[in-house]
Structure 1
Amino acid sequence: MALNTSHTPGTTRPADGEVLVETVALTKSYAGADGELPVLSGIDLQVRAGEVVALLGKSGSGKSTLLRCMAGLVPTSSGTVAYKDTPLTGANPGTAMVFQTFALLPWLTVQQNVELGLEAKGVPAAARAEAALQAIDLIGLDGFESAYPKELSGGMRQRVGFARALVVEPDVLMMDEPFSALDVLTAENLRGELMELWESGQFPTRAIVLVTHNIEEAVLMADRIVVLGARPYGTIRETFEVGLDRPRDRESAAFDDLIDRVYRTMTGRHKEGRLAGRSENAEHDRRTPANTPLPGAGVDGLSGLAEMVLHRGGRCDLADLAEDLGLEVDDILPLVDALDLLDFAHMSGDDLLLTPQGTAYAGADVQESKTIFAEAAPRAPLVKLITSSLAQNPGGALRAGFFRDLLAHHYTSEQVTRQLDTATDWGRYAELFRYDAEPEEYRIDPEETPATTPRKE
């Protein structure tokens, strides 16, 4: 691995501006029970040498699918993906991937894990060992060459993932939420070190594409932010040129202003305060478990947020609320999405505003709140899928594996688990079904009466 150390901060890299990866009219759909389920539609995007591009969006916007299409790991349904003007017919030879979940082989040492990509390319043992040691040194893993993944912290495991990707010297490093599985301090440290390497010129890659749902992370790292929106499928909603000097000053007015503008776009707010697409009744007809994933919000969390808004008169500025709680706005967005999906609250300007149903829910006692929640929960397509499937099954029971198989066409295994965990939490609270963990089985007991009978959507 011959690192380029000739570059100095503040200067351009060789051939900056060259188009490395380009998508033209990219569309991706998956087969579903009711026909093709669109995930991405009409994506035109260029990644140029010398830039960091952030793909930003909430769950279901298709950002990870787009990244995998650009890496050649997932075929497009239509349109093209090209690497240096050559359309892909398989894996992109100019990219390497860093995943959220580390993806290390536990029986291999750090050095052996780092060497995997070079071994697959047929690099001789001595050469790949030398390159691996350079990558290990570059990413700050000196002394851990012979360690096994189980001996490492989460941050160190992710460093191995970075070293494994960088050792093959890709033109484009692609990162799929690489910091989201780490604690806040570890993520901040690793993020900062990564950008220092990028600016130093010792980074053996010409461009970076980062998938994230974190607005501040995108503004901190990227030169260009591409915001993806969903419903009914992923499209590019807006692109922002960051234009801020590195290292980024989080306290500057320009930094705050850009976060606010990106936030407004990401949450889909118009001047009249409606979430994009949510005002149309037809939107509900297009919702499926594939195009409307459940936000990562438990019942306690969304109930707590609804009660806080009620105590502030049923309306409050979301940024002010986050600041009062000592949180980032990004931390609250899944709860906001959950309240919006259930029609308990919507955004109005900068404020989160409870609907009449949300006001009743937030102010009700436990039993009444369960009844209101049971009426609203089937608005979530996965909850509706589970309840309707159980109702149509003569035995009144289905294994969780049935739903895992259905979701596996659209989500990673980790995402499937999170989707089912949230749906189970919501359905249990609403008493729409039972879930027995030992047989991993959903069930409706005839002798038990749910909190309410779900209304047809």
Structure 2
Amino acid sequence: MTELLTVTGLTKSYAGADGELPVLAGIDLSVREGEIVALLGKSGSGKSTLLRCLAGLIPPSSGTVAYRGTPLKGANRGAAMVFQTFALLPWLTVLANVEVGLEARGVRPAARRQAALKAIDLIGLDGFESAYPKELSGGMRQRVGFARALVTEPDVLLMDEPFSALDVLTAENLRGELLELWESGEFPTKAIVVVTHNIEEAVLLADRVVVLGARPYGTIRATFDIPLPRPRDRDAAAFTKLIDAVYRTMTGREQGAPLPPHGLRPPARPTLAGTPLPAASVDGLSGLAEILRRHQGKVDLADLSDELGLEIDDLLPQVDALELLGFAAVEGGHVALTADGDAFSAADVRDSKHIFAAAAGELPLIRLIRTSLVNGADGGLRAGFFRDILAHHYTSEQVTRQLETATDWGRYAELFSYDALHQRYRLDG
């Protein structure tokens, strides 16, 4: 099969106070005609950064990204992107939103209208051409995003968690329609690369699942070929076996991982870019710690998810949070409390706060907020100050989630308070 995208020795890092902050290191990847590739990983694994490198939106620090054998020197004209948060222009109609990419390429009005109407019909948006984004549901907005990407008939469709902002039923419906189009032969693109953190979604959609790991930089941990015919039966033994294999790889820890190439080394101290906070509340991670303690401190995550009636993906943020705080260790699909985690889970409210504060206070974002307040004015600091700093490393949606988690953790630890009305952080006491 023809290789449409080829990634060779890609590294990506950002300049920081502690030197180069590694995000990706030593990535080798190809995307071939006729396949769907899923980039799967937890927060901080660099999967969205890799997708943007494939799109030519950000350049690699070293290595190359090539489209049909030619290294990219800017935006990839053979690819189009679908974003998690729709990214529609609210003052334009559905038709005008779909035409935007063609207009930017200089396509004449009559031709771009014809192409846009064709894409709108393909994606099931007939009748909504004159509607504005505010009139549409989340699912319909994402359909506009699909139509806008497909109207240019790109070789490769790049999708960054396209279903994660939707409710469960809408996401399921759109996934099914996407696969039906792909299988029908009417899809105007030759390959798809989709970023996801959902293991089942990756195995359901992809012909190949590429698992990225972090700690302390993003690398390809493993690649799984998915030979199952479509439509795929979630209850089939082969499907379940693949889910389990991918899950154990994603939640396990690499032993003896090689150092990254090109002299890139992880910083001696955790960094803001390299240590994202998982989307886990204090109540959620505390609850998991208590459950682990009742299981004598160690449990298989697959067994625990079955016991609780949850998807594995629902537990991963809480697991990541416990591990980041030093309260748990993950290996081979098992999670076990550390001594600090056992003490945290067994303590009363007052003592648990002290234990939590000691651990959370060492995390880069929470340490940044606390230290800035200690050294700042008595009136505290506006949230916008921290948003601007985080914006160098995260998307706007990720910035919001990072600050929400930091605020929850910092308040519980009594490291600082937050006035939501005035969007201002202050020191407690």
**Residue of structure 1 in register with 2:419 after alignment:** 436
TM-score, structure 1 as length reference: 0.89
The CA deviation at 1:379 is: 3.6
Instruction: Give the Cα–Cα distance (whole angstroms) in 2 for the partners of residues 359 and 211 of structure 1.
Output: 35
Tell whether 2:217 aligns with 1:224: no
The residue that corresponds to 1:378 in the other structure is 361
In structure 2, the partner of 1:251 is 235
- What amino acid is the match of 2:121? D
Residue in 1 aligned with 2:396? 413
5+ residue gaps in structure 2?
Answer: 260-264
Residue type of the alignment partner of 2:70: T
The 3-state SS of whatever aligns with 1:388 is helix
Trace 1:42-441 onto structure 2 (pairs within 5 A): 42-269=26-253, 285-393=268-376, 395=378, 397-441=380-424
Q: Within 5 Å, which residues of 2 pair with 1:27-38?
A: 27-38=11-22
How many Å separate the matches in 2 of 1:301 and 1:35?
34
* 1:20 matches 2:4: yes
1:351 CA displacement: 2.9
The runs of at least 4 consecutive aligned structure 1 residues that moved more than 6 Å come to 274-277
- Determine helix, strand or coil for the equivalent of 2:418: strand
RMSD after superposition: 2.0
State the alpha-carbon separation in 2 of the partners of residues 296 and 32 from structure 1.
24
Q: Which runs of 5+ in 1 are unaligned?
A: 1-16, 449-457
- In 2: Cα distance, 1:27 partner to 1:157 partner: 34
Aligned length: 424
* More displaced stretch, 186-195 vs 123-132: 123-132
Distance 1:263 1:350 in 2: 7
SS of equivalent residue, structure 2 residue 268: helix
Equivalent position SS for 1:227: strand
1:309-334 Cα deviation digits (max 9, x unpaired) = 22333232211221222211011100
Letter matched to residue 290 of structure 1 = A
Length-normalised TM-score, structure 2: 0.94
Over 3 Å counting, the alpha-carbon distance change for 1:113 and 1:287 in structure 2 is same
Identity of aligned residues (%): 72
Q: What is the DSSP-based 3-state SS (H/G/I as helix, E as strand, rest coil) of the residue aligned with 1:106?
A: coil
Letter in 1 for 2:60: T
Retained in 2: the 8 A contact 1:315–1:351?
yes
3-state SS of paired residue (2:27): strand
How far apart are 1:284 and its partner, in Å? Answer: 8.8
Q: Relative to structure 1, is the Cα distance of residues 276 and 257 closer, same or farther in structure 2, using a 3 angstrom cutoff?
A: farther
Structure 1 residues 193 and 259, CA gap change in structure 2 (3 angstroms): same
